[in-house]
Amino acid sequence: MSEDGRKVRIIQGNEASVEGAIAAGCRFFAGYPITPASEIAELMSRRLPPVGGTFLQMEDEIASINAVIGASWGGAKACTASSGPGISLMQEGVGYAAETETPCVVINVMRGGPATGQPTISSQQDIYQARYGGHGDYEIIALVPSSAQEAYDLTIKAFNLAEEFRVPVYLLSDEIVGHTRERVVMGGPIEVRERVAPPKEGYRPYAAGPDGLLPGMPAFNDGYRLLVEGQHHDERGIRAGDDVNKSAALVQRLNDKVRKNIDRITDVERVDLDDAEVAVVCFGSTARPALEAVQSAREKGVKAGALRLRVIWPFPEKVVAELAGRARTLIVPEMNIGKLVLEVRRSAGGRAEVISLPRLGGALHTPEEVEGAIMDAVKGGNAR
């Protein structure tokens, strides 16, 4: 351990997520075993009790997300983790957390689907589930780590964003990130957003500030006499589902508080983009071969670059639009049928050619495959 409290360990991304969660102040975890996310529950069951936290293995994933919601209102930073089938079961609960503005973190270590699919193999198929998985209109925030280090860093960030925006935040990890053991620097001076109790005088739990955000997070049993209501509600929490104006205002705000604050949330890494003619837009484990391909192409004198997304939702459309105005071609490698490319294409608005590089089956793209797409694009080739 260094003087500033940092320590270096070789651990899996799943373990790094647990360490990040605990560093961020997570003191409640409820979950249910599932491959490839089980290590998160296993390590939480070891790590939480000694730090005064609670681990509960629930009867299913529906119970897990709902226990997390209860714990969050009880005053604890709370988290659950699962993979495809379990995350599907959680969707109603995630929507409830969005409606009631309950801060919580959901870690999805993505595997191949649909159905039981590929329990032990990676995918990036669930990105739209994170955004649109529940019924109704709401926005969430989703972060995508590319490495064990980012599983640590972005889990901390996920908790901070959940508190700041009073919203469920996904960490969209995947089997490759979750199970790859690599060097992780932990501890030291990290930024943690503590929960702030709002003033009780005249408190209205759902009265938002001008930025659409609720100030602080109250806890049960601290004298607020809270009413947390899953039906559309007014600023006091009283049901208003039959009031078209109040219902519209609430749903608009639940979406706007994320959409209109996108500049505070967007987090991208720009690699060699200043003069790039071909840019790879990448995220998660797919970014690993993508960045290698860009470096290799550069070494061959090709003006290639990469835009790596650390926050995938809300989608950084302004950043992509600006990039599309400068680069000739955008290439989108992803381990699914070709999903994020739709958002990239929409944001590019026809200003750049957008090439989809999807991959099914769970094997990561090879650097050569991505580099081949870059070279085809440079030659004006026929890669589509």
Return residues touching other proteins (CB under 8 A): 27-28, 30, 49-50, 52-54, 56, 58-60, 62-64, 66-76, 78, 92-93, 96, 100, 219-221, 223-231, 236, 238-239
- Write down the least CB distance from residue 220 to other proteins, Å: 4
Choose between 214 and 324: whose C-beta lies nearer to other proteins.
214
* CA 304 to each of CA 29, 159, 298, 365: distance values in angstroms, whole numbers, following the listed order: 42, 34, 6, 17
List, in order, residues 6 or more apart from 3 with CB less than 8 Å away: none
Residue 33 and residue 85: Cα distance in Å, rounded? 11
- Helices 38-47, 13-23: crossing angle, 10 deg rounding: 40
State in angstroms the smallest separation of the CB of 169 from other proteins: 18
Whichever of 185 and 227 has its CB closer to other proteins, that residue is: 227
CA-based angle 253:66:217, to the nearest 5?
45
Q: Residue 81 forms beta bridges with which residues?
A: 107
Query: Which residues is 185 bridged to in the sheet?
Result: 8
Can you read off the two tokens belonging to residue 30?
A: 């409820």
Q: How far is the CB of 151 from other proteins (least distance, A)?
A: 24
Tell the residue number behind the tokens 């089997």, with chain if given.
175
Closest to other proteins by CB, 91 vs 118, is 91
Least Å distance, CB 175 to other proteins, is 27
Q: What is the largest CA-CA distance in the chain?
A: 68
d(CA 318, CA 306): 16
Minimum distance between the CB of residue 249 and other proteins, rounded to whole angstroms?
18
Output 102 or 123, the one with its CB closest to other proteins: 102
Distance CA 377, CA 354 (A): 10
> What phi, psi does 325 have (nearest 5°)?
-75, -15
Q: What are the backbone dihedrals phi and psi of residue 313, each rounded to the nearest 5 degrees, phi first?
A: -125, 130
Q: How far is the CB of 49 from other proteins (least distance, A)?
A: 4
Rounded Cα–Cα distance for residues 143 and 170 (Å): 6
Query: Please, which residue, 47 or 111, has the CB nearer to other proteins?
Result: 47
Residue 119 or 237 with smaller CB distance to other proteins: 237
Which tokens sit at 206?
A: 């759902």
Q: Would you say 54 or 295 has its CB closer to other proteins?
A: 54
User: Shortest gap between Cβ of 55 and other proteins (angstroms)?
Assistant: 8
